[in-house]
Amino acid sequence: MKITDIRFGLLKIPLKTPFKTALRTVEAVEDIVVEVHTDTGHVGYGEAPATAVITGDTHGSILEAIRRFIGPRLIGQEIANLNRITHLIQTALEKNTSAKAAVEIAVYDLFGQLYGAPLYRMLGGGDPVITTDITISVDYIDKMVADSLSAVDRGFESLKIKVGKDIGVDIERVKAIYAAVEDRALLRLDANQGWTAKQAVYAITALEDAGVRLELVEQPVKARDLDGLKYVTEHVHTPIMADESVFGPTEVIDLIRMRAADIINIKLMKTGGLSNAIRIADIASLYGIECMIGCMLESSISVAAAVHLAVAKADAITKVDLDGPSLCAYNPVDGGVIFNESEISVTDAPGLGIRSIQGLQPIPA
């Protein structure tokens, strides 16, 4: 099975409700879909969102990186030589992790199709069902409480509460949600870089002193402020998770050496796809560091790859934030992974199992 062509489409899906974080507000998923075609007629699918405020990637940069740098190296490559292909993708150019991820996901999809096995089995196998949290956007306190209660009623047992807008209101937001939800769900906070290190210690300590039990706090400080992240980790009891501060395996090694965080959030759009995500899970596992698998605003194409990885690496990936498809108004994919609110299941269809994608607008090659 040899790669013959790479094609693109634009996927636009409205969200059920606007997604609001300390970094941005978004009303729709608007992602580039990558199709990797082969001489056998098999097609692999990948997807990349333009999360410019986190990865620096835009639709234009994703397309340019694949058209000019990654794609030309892959034509004629044999899918069976997976490691050679991922090396060609990762070394085609610096950064551009979303473009690399989209192509890698499509290639791994084909690797599973080549051997007639679902991707999670090609990655080592595992239990086919995982459980995700759901994001509660930062908003007025009453709205966040109502959204949290509605999520709990829909069966979500972990809520990822977005904060990082205003320290005083943030503390009140979390207290109000904790009181309303009681013991029916675990609370994870994600400040998306919105606090300083001292503010983070103040807010988390205030919540701890008020008896609010938090599972973890994600990315309290600016991505580059590793000393600030370490300061927060050392000065609170609540586990601290690095998200925007770590993209690839070498950054994870630095973070672990510094002891700057307790948990690592792996996202395929930061790692450049599955090969580096596997490396991170293995490194973290060696050091006894837990990982979360997360996503950007992605649909069930790229999130499917993250699900297969989470199933296969369940020893290291103990927390799941793969709610992108649940936030979308509909699922554009026929086949693939089954997303049913908090419960996500892989099937035994080869690769990612995607049969077709509705509503793709073609983009010229």
Q: Which is nearer to Mg ion, 77 or 135 (CB)?
A: 135
**Binds ligand LOXFGALJ by CB under 6 A, chosen from 31, 47, 139, 321:** 321
Tokens representing 3? 């790669």
Cβ of residue 19: shortest distance to ligand LOXFGALJ, in angstroms?
7
Which region among 28-36, 82-90, 122-130, 292-300 touches ligand LOXFGALJ (by CB under 6 A)? 292-300
Q: Which does residue 297 bind out of ligand LOXFGALJ, Mg ion, none, counting CB within 5 to 8 angstroms by kind?
A: ligand LOXFGALJ
Considering 267, 270, 313, 319, which one is annotated as catalytic?
267
Considering 20, 100, 160, 162, which one is annotated as catalytic?
162
Which region among 101-109, 242-250, 275-283, 298-306 touches Mg ion (by CB under 5 A)? 242-250
**Binds Mg ion by CB under 5 A, chosen from 215, 243, 298, 323:** 243
Q: Is 143 a known active-site residue?
A: no
End-to-end CA distance of the chain: 21
Cβ of residue 307: shortest distance to Mg ion, in angstroms?
18
Residue span 29-58 as binding mask against ligand LOXFGALJ, x where in contact by CB under 6 A, dash where not: ----------------------x-------
319 binds ligand LOXFGALJ (CB under 6 A): no
Q: Which residue is nearest to Mg ion (CB)?
A: 243
Q: Which does residue 295 bind out of Mg ion, ligand LOXFGALJ, none, counting CB within 5 to 8 angstroms by kind?
A: ligand LOXFGALJ
3-state helix/strand/coil string of the chain:
CEEEEEEEEEEEEEEEEEEECCCCEEEEEEEEEEEEEECCCCEEEEEEECCCCCCCCCHHHHHHHHHHHHHHHHCCCECCCHHHHHHHHHCCCCCCHHHHHHHHHHHHHHHHHHHCCEHHHHCCCCCCEEECCEEECCCCHHHHHHHHHHHHHCCCCEEEEECCCCHHHHHHHHHHHHHHHHHHCEEEEECCCCCCHHHHHHHHHHHHHCCCCCCEEECCCCCCCHHHHHHHHHHCCCCEEECCCCCCHHHHHHHHHHCCCCEEEEEHHHHCCHHHHHHHHHHHHHHCCEEEEECCCCCCCHHHHHHHHHHHCCCCEEEEECCHHHHECCCCEEECCEEECCEEECCCCCECCEEEECCCEEECC
298 binds Mg ion (CB under 5 A): no
Tokens representing 290? 């837990």
Residues 195-224 that bind Mg ion (CB under 5 A): 218
Q: Which is nearer to ligand LOXFGALJ, 74 or 328 (CB)?
A: 328
**Binds ligand LOXFGALJ by CB under 6 A, chosen from 294, 332, 336, 350:** 294
Q: Which residues lie near ligand LOXFGALJ (CB under 6 A)?
A: 21, 24, 51, 135, 160, 190, 192, 243, 294-297, 321, 323-324
Task: Name the site residues for Mg ion (rule: CB under 5 A).
Answer: 190, 218, 243
Catalytic residues: 162, 267
